Structure formats: C-alpha cells, structure tokens
Homo-oligomer: A and B are copies of this chain.
Amino acid sequence: MADVAAHVGVSRALVSLVFRDAPGASAATRERVFKAAAELGYRPNSAARVLRRNRSRHLGVLYTMRHPFDADLVEALYPLAERLGYDIVLGAMTPTRGEQKAAEELLSYRSEVLIVIGPEIGSKPLAALASHVPVIAVGRRFRGLNVDAIHTDDFQGVRLGVEHLVELGHRAIAHIDGGAMPGASGRRRGYRTTMRRHGLDDEIRVIPGDYTEESGARAAEALLSDSHLPTAVIAGNDRCAVGLLDSLLRAGISVPRQVSVIGYDDSQLARMSHINLTSVSQDVPHMAEAVMHAVVERLENGRSEAREIVLKPSLVVRETTGPVTPTAPSAPPLVESTNSGGGRTRS
C-alpha cells in the first residue's frame, strides 16, 4: 500500500480511504489510486485490516458439503451478506473434521457470528461456543441456550404432506424419520399427530432412517420385503426421498401410480426434472433473510437474548404424488413428460 501511495504521490491513509470507498477522496485521486494499484498488482491485505479495526466483518458459516440444502442456503446467504458489507467464511464439516474443529478455525479468524446449518452438535459444546460469539442455528431449536434458532415449522410441514395425501385418498401412509437429525423430532410428531387426527392411528408406521439416500434405499428394502406396502411415504428429507424413489423404481414400483412419495426441503434435488419430487419447502430465501436479520440484530442492534424464528413451510406438489389407485397393482410404469422447477404450491 505504501508503494501505491508513493506511486501516486499521496499518503497511505488516502489510499486506504479509496479502497474501502469511504468519503474523503476526490474522484481524480480515486482514479489515479486504482490505476496505480492495478499496475503494481496491489491487493488489500485483509489480515491487516481485520487486525486494525477490531471487527472482521466475517460471518462464519458451518455447513456440510454433502447436503444440498446447505448449499442452497449458503448460496442465498452470499448476496445478502455482501449487500450488508459482510464476508462469508466457510467452515466445512467433513467426516475427519467435526463441528468443533471447524468452529475453532472460524473463531481464530475472528468470525463475528457463527451460522450453523443443520447443527448435529451437542448442547454443551454449542453452549461453549455461544458464550464466545453469537450463534445462529438453522434448522434446529436449542432450548435454554443463548442460541438463535431459525427453522421452519417441521410439525406443520409434515402435516401439510399428510393432509395432501389424505385428500388424494391415501390411508396407508408411512414416514421415514430422521432419527436425531435436525428437525426430525418435529416432523415425526407432525406425522403422528396428523395421522391420528384423521383417524389413521392404525396406519401409523415410522421407519427409522436419517437424512441420506442410503437410508431411503434401506427403507425401500424394508417396505418391499413386507406384505403391507403403503400407498404413500413421507421421507425425512429430499435425499432420503430420492434414495427411496430410486429403489422403488428399480424394483418396478411405479411412482406415483403405486406409491406416492414426499420429500422435505424442496432442495435443488427435488426440482430436477427427472426427480420432480413433491416436497415440503423450507423457503430458503426467507430463511436466508431471517438469518441475516438475526445477524444484524446481534451485531448492530446489540441484541443479546436468543430469538427463535419459525417460518411457515409450504408444500410444493410435483409429480411423485397422485391419487391412490385401489386396483391395478402392476400397471406399466408411467413415462414422464416435460416440466422443470415449477409445481403447484399450497400452504
């Protein structure tokens, strides 16, 4: 930076002003500074910048590379953060690198908040983190912790799914649950309660699973090796639904002719034309906005008590759900036609 200043013949402070386009430099100067910087290949050193102001303006995001939903949310976060002058710093959680480690790293870069997507972390370590830095958990609620929670109403989400199926005439509706994964308990309760409300107590069937395609495939096996094949299944998330879907198709089961399938997340996976999965939408754009809202409140408005924001889910009906067909147990599979991201929405 000193080089640039010397080259232009101004002070370093002025160059600094120009680069963070703060007021106080003439247009002519700005021009010359940028030109000199380009020539000299100067690039601001953000380590020095972070060190000097005592704010990094970094938002640490903990996410899982494999989850399409996480990618959706991160992508939605980028432009919003940029507009507010924040940088997103990614901390990937991988099999060899737990949340704890990833979080430590983000904190060493002085992230001002931690946005944890689909936290599988325990309460105690999370509480420890939250005592150092505001934590915003997306997709899971933490009672009694000073952690903001932003999630959709999982209970209502599954309720929408069950009611959609009931309207289509389904009664034998199974649920592949998400075990201890974020949101799973609410979804399970939504399933059980709504089934009961419709007098379908005897049809309640929860198949243990998680949020991977594998668990959907395993559930398919379980269902197929059983005499009692349900006419509809609500999976714990889209990945699980896709695993289920694929295994059913391979087994010659026609969807939705013989079995209707509903996913959860309405991730890009669900929208792909060859999947075209009816799914409960988490409304990612609104979630991203809610996250940034929480960030601003914490960082700029001095809020220090936890807040919970529950968003309303909606059901995006695509082509994996249809009316129950009492007869025709071995009808020929259906050929898909057109259709991209669309789908009717209801809430």
A56 interface residue per 8 A CB criterion:
yes
Contact with B along A164-179 (1 / 0, CB 8 A): 0000000000000000
In the complex the two chains form, is A97's CB within 8 Å of B110's CB? no
In the complex the two chains form, is B334's CB within 8 Å of A250's CB? yes
In the complex the two chains form, is B87's CB within 8 Å of A105's CB? yes
A222 interface residue per 8 A CB criterion:
no
Contact with B along A247-258 (1 / 0, CB 8 A): 101111000000
Which of A140-148, A197-205, A269-277, A302-310 forms part of the interface with chain B? A269-277
A154 interface residue per 8 A CB criterion:
no
Cα(A155)–Cα(B74), bound, Å: 35
With A252-B333, A336-B251 as known contacts, state yes or no: A246 contacts B275, CB within 8 Å: yes
A75 interface residue per 8 A CB criterion:
yes
Cα(A220)–Cα(B273), bound, Å: 12
In the complex the two chains form, is A75's CB within 8 Å of B46's CB? no
Which of A88-96, A185-193, A226-234 forms part of the interface with chain B? A88-96
With A78-B96, A96-B78, A108-B43 as known contacts, state yes or no: A251 contacts B71, CB within 8 Å: no
Of B44, B75, B273, B332, which contacts A214 at CB under 8 A?
B273
A243 interface residue per 8 A CB criterion:
yes
Closest chain B residue, CB of each to CB of A216: B274
A196 interface residue per 8 A CB criterion:
no
Cα(A59)–Cα(B44), bound, Å: 18
A45-92 residues with Cβ-Cβ distance < 8 A to B are 45-48, 50-51, 56, 65-66, 68, 71, 74-75, 78-79, 87, 90, 92
Q: Using Cβ atoms and an 8 Å threshold, which residues of chain B touch A217?
A: 272-274
Cα(A250)–Cα(B107), bound, Å: 48
Of B45, B46, B65, B109, which contacts A65 at CB under 8 A?
B65
Cα(A247)–Cα(B333), bound, Å: 12
A23 interface residue per 8 A CB criterion:
no
Assembly of this chain: how many copies?
2
Q: Using Cβ atoms and an 8 Å threshold, which residues of chain B touch A132?
A: 41, 43
A335 interface residue per 8 A CB criterion:
yes
In the complex the two chains form, is B75's CB within 8 Å of A71's CB? no
For chain A, the count of residues having a C-beta within 8 Å of the partner chain is: 56
Cα(A334)–Cα(B109), bound, Å: 53
Q: How far is the CB of A16 from chain B (nearest CB, A)?
A: 14
Please list 15 pairs of residues, one from A and one from B, whose beta carbons are closer than 8 Å in the complex, sorted by A's number: A41-B131, A46-B109, A47-B51, A47-B56, A47-B110, A66-B268, A78-B96, A87-B105, A90-B92, A213-B272, A217-B273, A249-B333, A250-B274, A250-B333, A250-B335
Question: Lowest 10 CB-CB distances: which A-B pairs, in order?
Answer: A217-B274, A65-B71, A47-B50, A252-B333, A90-B90, A246-B274, A249-B249, A47-B47, A75-B94, A247-B274
A216-B274, A246-B274 known; 16 other A-B pairs, CB under 8 Å? A45-B110, A46-B108, A46-B109, A87-B105, A90-B92, A213-B272, A214-B272, A214-B273, A217-B272, A246-B249, A247-B336, A249-B249, A249-B250, A251-B336, A252-B333, A252-B335
> Interface of A with B (CB < 8 Å)?
41, 43-48, 50-51, 56, 65-66, 68, 71, 74-75, 78-79, 87, 90, 92, 94-97, 104-105, 107-110, 131-132, 213-214, 216-217, 220, 224, 243, 246-247, 249-252, 268, 272-275, 332-336
